[in-house]
Structure 1
Amino acid sequence: MKEIVLKDPLDMHLHLREGEMLKNIIEYTTSQFAGAVVMPNLNIPITTTELALQYREEIASGSKYKRFKPFLTLYITESMNEEELKHARSKGVKILKLYPKGATTNSQDGLNEIFTPHMLKICQIAQDMGFILSIHGETNGFSLDREYEFGKIFAKLAQDFPKLKIIIEHMSDHRSIELLETYPNIYATLTLHHITMTLDDMLGGGLKAHRFCKPILKTPKDRDMLLDLAINAHPKVSFGSDSAPHLEKNKLKDNASAGIFSAPMILCALATLFEKHNKLENLQAFISDNAKKIYNINDLDPKEVRLQKKHCWVPSQIKLIQNNIIPFNAGSLLEWTQII
């Protein structure tokens, strides 16, 4: 096969940042994808519909690809209320993002406790209004067990709100797969880095700070079992890059920022991976069809992305005025290239 056409690629977990950073990195995504779920953990979190609409305008003005559709998300806080949720739905916002306090970048406004009366009320309203609940599912326990420990919370939410679609974002632990199989309303996104790397790829030799992310990379068994879900396009998983750019200086300092900037060439990287495992025929479902079904997406401007069987290189760095960004697998060779 010398060429493939991907229809309406979707990135169901993306960080576009804001300001100059957004302007510098957005087209790595908008050139490849028809749409993306854009996370709300900005410096000032997107906690209201008005902030979400302002962010939509910033995204639209930042890219020449005007048909790209950002699926906005609202950051859940203790002050969220029914009126705000009604307003959000009226403006087309249908995804709520739950961050445990302190779990990741800009999560200081997240929740200390999940099962408070207020949060249970929000979940009930969200279920009744047809929202999707997106969760960064980690406790503050030992780093390799944080997602597993959060599994009990996923299970209780799924049981208590059986009609509420719940997304395990950036699933990284093979023990979470049981949740997908047990609860009809639990789904997951998978990143490229969690299905191709382990903790050894970050610190088994020299420390590779640009591979530091949350959830942290885990074991070969975790990687392999999640990879199997992806390349077989398990119907309850969709692709979510969790591409999260940070300036190089912030990745190399003490108390470094967590996040991997994987947006550049990511469809080419996925095609290379799926072909390696003789599963190229499943790439379309993983990067689009599954997401359309899970999230009930039917309002996209059609986009076709053509990939050609031709070598290309991941950029070694993205140069900005203030500093550089080092992309995922910088300088590596891929087997496919995008035809623009």
Structure 2
Amino acid sequence: MKIKLKSPLDMHLHLREGEMLKLVAPLTAQTFAGAIIMPNLVPPVDNLPRLLAYREEILAATAGEVFEPYMTLFFRNYTREELEAAREHITAIKLYPAGITTNSEGGVKELADAEATLALMEELGIPLLVHGETNGFVMDREREFLSVYEQIATKFPRLKIVMEHITTAHAVDLLDRFENLHATVTAHHLIITLDDVAGGMLNPHLFCKPIAKRPTDRDALLAAALRAHPKLSLGTDSAPHPQHKKECCGCAAGVFTAPITLALMADLFAKHDALDKLQAFVSGNAQQIYGVTPPEKIVTLRDTAMTIPASYGDVIPMWAGKQLGWSVVG
């Protein structure tokens, strides 16, 4: 059996810089027509010259592939002039609570301090992407942050808000309560639970933030994805780290799925008799939510087994060495 996906999109992607970018960017560009690029570099992508230079670096690394990098700015207090100048070059602005994840030390400390910029974004039609976690108990961080989403969605009803990489049933429920709330979900959060990360021997290559949650949460996310909930789209949060930064004390947070995501999703949706919903989940919904028109690209997958490589350079993918029931053709 074969399926064809039209212009698949990854609405949450980490590419890093330098040699790491040169390694991982082509692995996404081979199977995706475009991706939203995260700005939490060092220093962050928080001004237009930095953003334009980063985009050129991505385009150079993906030369020869049909691929559009949808750029984002790191949230800070921007002036109207800065946002007006940047608007045609960005797809969204990404808000990180200060210190909550990798390279987020310069994030927002108090929501009140962000409201002037949020008002400008609402006026100018610039979407807000949010890493929604508190500093509370690790299993409760996303649930505790949901009240912040409610606060922003109520105060700025015309601001398009995307809850990034949701991991809980509570977040799925919140999607239908506010017209301006949307969400992305990762491939790995549709498959794993905390048991896979730490239920037996610790698996550092499945450790991420937000951390994988309970089976009931995973099942709620999966049910929403399998029916292609119109406010939900694929955002892999694929986050490469060299092996020595994962297999160590102080393990870096991030799951690397970029080169295997579409095969993973075809395998998962096929097992649940939902292949007819995969196109919307990996492209159609995102086009509607973000108002983007990706370049034309057809990716063909077939139900032929593939073995996930042990590594890509010095980066270990999710489920390295395991077999999937589907693979990308060509």
TM-score bin (small chain): over 0.9
Measured in 2, the distance between the counterparts of 1:37 and 1:65 equals: 19
Measured in 2, the distance between the counterparts of 1:199 and 1:308 equals: 30
SS at structure 1 position matched to 2:213: coil
* 1:252-286 CA-partner distances (Å, limit 9, x unpaired): 22221100001122101100000001101100000
Match of residue 73 from structure 1: 72
> Hey, which bits of structure 1, 4+ residues long, moved more than 6 A?
none
Measured in 2, the distance between the counterparts of 1:282 and 1:310 equals: 20
Match of residue 331 from structure 1: 321
Match of residue 84 from structure 1: 82
Measured in 2, the distance between the counterparts of 1:67 and 1:339 equals: 16
Match of residue 3 from structure 1: 2
Q: 1:303 aligns with which of 291, 297, 318?
A: 297
1:188 Cα shift? 0.3
Match of residue 185 from structure 1: 180
Alignment: residue pair count? 330
Whether 1:51 aligns to 2:50 is yes
SS at structure 2 position matched to 1:107: coil
* 1:269-327 CA-partner distances (Å, limit 9, x unpaired): 100000001101100000000000000112x22000011221111111122xxxx2110
1:242 Cα shift? 0.3
Match of residue 122 from structure 1: 117
Query: Partner amino acid for 2:237?
Result: D
Whether 1:97 aligns to 2:100 is no
SS at structure 1 position matched to 2:12: strand
User: 5 Å matches for 1:260-299?
Assistant: 260-298=255-293
What TM-score does the superposition give when structure 1 sets the normalisation length?
A: 0.95
Match of residue 41 from structure 1: 40
Query: Partner amino acid for 1:222?
Result: D
What TM-score does the superposition give when structure 2 sets the normalisation length?
A: 0.98
Measured in 2, the distance between the counterparts of 1:314 and 1:87 equals: 43
SS at structure 2 position matched to 1:201: helix
SS at structure 1 position matched to 2:101: coil
Query: Partner amino acid for 1:231?
Result: L
User: Is the CA contact 1:170–1:191 (under 8 Å) kept in the aligned structure 2?
Assistant: yes
CA RMSD of the aligned region, Å? 1.0
| Percent of residue pairs identical | 45
SS at structure 2 position matched to 1:194: helix
Match of residue 249 from structure 1: 244
Measured in 1, the distance between the counterparts of 2:76 and 2:137 equals: 25
Measured in 2, the distance between the counterparts of 1:312 and 1:252 equals: 25
SS at structure 2 position matched to 1:184: coil
| Unaligned segments of structure 1, at least 5 residues | none
